Amino acid sequence: MKPLAIVTGVGPGTGSSLARKFAAEGYRVAMLEHFTISLHRIQRR
């Protein structure tokens, strides 16, 4: 099973960069953000 990275405060800056980096390295990524629209944009990248 792949490791899990939980990233909180996923906005357009550092949080989304971390989420993409973990995903690129093979992690499953759980993203938490107050505004879901930000998560949908990041998830599509």
Q: For 1-45, where are the E strands, in sequence order?
A: 4-8, 28-32
**Domain residue limits at 23:** 4-44
Count up the domains in the chain and report the number. 1
Q: Are the C-beta atoms of residues 2 and 26 closer than 8 Å to each other?
A: yes
- Can you tell me the distance from the alpha carbon of 31 to that of 45, in angstroms, rounded to the nearest whole number? 14
At residue 41, the pLDDT reads: 73
At residue 38, the pLDDT reads: 67
Global pTM value: 0.76
The 10s digit of each residue's pLDDT in 1-45 is: 999 999 998 888 898 899 999 999 999 999 888 776 666 777 776
At residue 7, the pLDDT reads: 94
At residue 21, the pLDDT reads: 96
